[in-house]
């Protein structure tokens, strides 16, 4: 008897040939960190990753989680810079989200809501832009919202009760140009005045200041906004605190304190370096922050949680995780722009690339 007649025929079973419920059950158990890679396998996988049924399955199974994203513009000649997901696994590198399909606006403002990142205004081809983009990290898709009424650069912004509020970033003496609000139900932008009732609660969190997207802004008598760089709000035991940097060290004070009263965050000596370069909200400004620093040719990030001790007179910090999120292989200077975005400028002569990094969660 020949060899071929004794062997069983070989069969190949495709993953997508399984029952739909089984496929969803399997994908729901996979970390969202791996979704960008899975979405590149085929159009079928991309459709499954973006399907509302997958998110429903994850919710039904109680599978949820926050993820940290950051943006890198590695090459000024590259029209499609990348967003990255930070891996929850310490030894695993950050994973790129599929190419960003639009020219990335410089000096834009970034806010997040759920799985969506809103990229608002900025400079496009050296002109102020009205453009607003949405990047959905869950579905790996990007689309445009209707344009704002006015072009704005580095405005204050936040998502409040499902609406997008945008303030400042436009030079005008007309009070009607102060801000605007987008209603997703009508898909329209409407003028926003400083006296708008919806913002009263936001202003009262820090007396005399405006809080938008977890950032704190000073506001003068003519409603001009100034971002207080490296100041974040966290809620600790039902009390709001301001977290900031002082000569590279993490400091804090009660949210309603005046310009004095900063104290050192305890418990981080020998764990974090003393030359931190940025602190940013990592969960909507309510519980934790991320801190960033540079070590030789590496960019590092850590997430910090807090606990009040000693009769609420001291604040202790705890490192939830810490890792190298990017290695760029060249030396360079680093500074923090007005919008809270990190800019790394390399010491090379031929088209020095920039790295732009913003902290968002979903």
Domain housing 174: 102-204
Q: What pLDDT, on a 0 to 100 scale, did the predictor assign at position 120?
A: 93
Q: What pLDDT, on a 0 to 100 scale, did the predictor assign at position 73?
A: 60
Instruction: Evaluate whether residue 186 is within a structural domain.
Output: yes
Which residues contact residue 110 at a Cβ distance below 8 angstroms, ignoring those fewer than 6 apart? 71, 117, 118, 119, 120, 341, 358, 360
Listed residue (117, 118, 127) closest to 150, CA to CA: 127
pLDDT digits (tens, 9 = 90+) for 198-247: 554 455 567 777 777 777 787 776 667 777 777 888 888 778 888 999 99
Q: What pLDDT, on a 0 to 100 scale, did the predictor assign at position 268?
A: 94
Q: What pLDDT, on a 0 to 100 scale, did the predictor assign at position 164?
A: 92
**Are residues 229 and 331 located together in one domain of the fold?**
yes
Q: What pLDDT, on a 0 to 100 scale, did the predictor assign at position 33?
A: 63
Q: What pLDDT, on a 0 to 100 scale, did the predictor assign at position 213?
A: 72
**Are residues 251 and 340 located together in one domain of the fold?**
yes
**Are residues 300 and 284 located together in one domain of the fold?**
yes
- Residue stretches of the chain with pLDDT short of 70: 1-16, 32-33, 62-66, 72-81, 88-91, 99-101, 103, 196-205, 221-223, 258-260, 282-286, 311-312, 328-362
Please, what is the average pLDDT of the chain?
A: 75
**Are residues 186 and 213 located together in one domain of the fold?**
no
**Are residues 260 and 220 located together in one domain of the fold?**
yes
Q: What pLDDT, on a 0 to 100 scale, did the predictor assign at position 284?
A: 53
Backbone angles phi, psi at 281, to 5 degrees: -65, 145
Q: What pLDDT, on a 0 to 100 scale, did the predictor assign at position 159?
A: 87
Give CA–CA dist 175/222, Å, rounded. Answer: 9
Q: How many domains does the chain have?
A: 3
């Amino acid at each position: 008897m020949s060899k071929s007649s004794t062997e069983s025929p070989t069969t190949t079973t495709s993953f997508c040939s399984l029952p739909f419920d089984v496929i969803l059950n399997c994908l729901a158990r996979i970390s969202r960190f791996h979704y960008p890679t899975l979405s590149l396998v085929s159009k079928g996988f991309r459709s499954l990753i973006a399907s509302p049924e997958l998110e429903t399955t994850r919710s039904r199974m109680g599978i949820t989680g926050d993820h940290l994203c950051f943006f890198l513009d590695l090459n000024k000649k590259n029209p499609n810079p990348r967003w990255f997901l930070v891996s929850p696994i310490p030894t695993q590198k950050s994973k790129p989200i599929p190419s960003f399909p639009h020219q990335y606006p410089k000096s834009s403002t970034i806010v997040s809501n759920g799985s969506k990142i809103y990229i608002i205004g900025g400079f496009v081809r050296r002109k102020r832009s009205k453009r607003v983009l949405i990047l959905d990290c869950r579905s790996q898709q990007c689309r445009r919202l209707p344009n704002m009424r006015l072009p704005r650069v580095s405005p204050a912004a936040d998502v409040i009760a499902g609406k997008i509020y945008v303030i400042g970033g436009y030079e005008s003496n007309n009070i009607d140009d102060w801000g605007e609000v987008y209603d997703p139900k009508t898909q329209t932008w409407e003028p926003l005045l400083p006296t708008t009732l919806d913002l009263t609660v936001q202003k009262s969190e820090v007396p005399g200041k405006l809080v938008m997207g977890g950032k704190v802004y000073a506001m003068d008598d003519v409603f001009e906004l100034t971002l207080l760089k490296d100041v974040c709000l966290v809620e600790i035991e039902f009390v709001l605190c301001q977290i900031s940097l002082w000569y590279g060290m993490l400091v804090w004070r009660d949210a309603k304190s005046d310009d004095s009263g900063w104290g050192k965050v305890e418990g981080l000596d020998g764990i974090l370096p003393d030359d931190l370069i940025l602190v940013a909200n990592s969960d909507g400004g309510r519980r934790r922050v991320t801190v960033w620093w540079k070590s030789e040719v590496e960019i590092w990030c850590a997430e910090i949680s807090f606990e009040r001790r000693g009769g609420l007179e001291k604040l202790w910090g705890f490192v939830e995780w810490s890792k190298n999120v990017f290695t760029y292989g060249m030396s360079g200077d680093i500074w923090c722009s007005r919008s809270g975005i990190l800019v790394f400028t390399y010491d090379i002569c031929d088209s020095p690339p920039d790295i732009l990094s913003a902290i968002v969660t979903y």
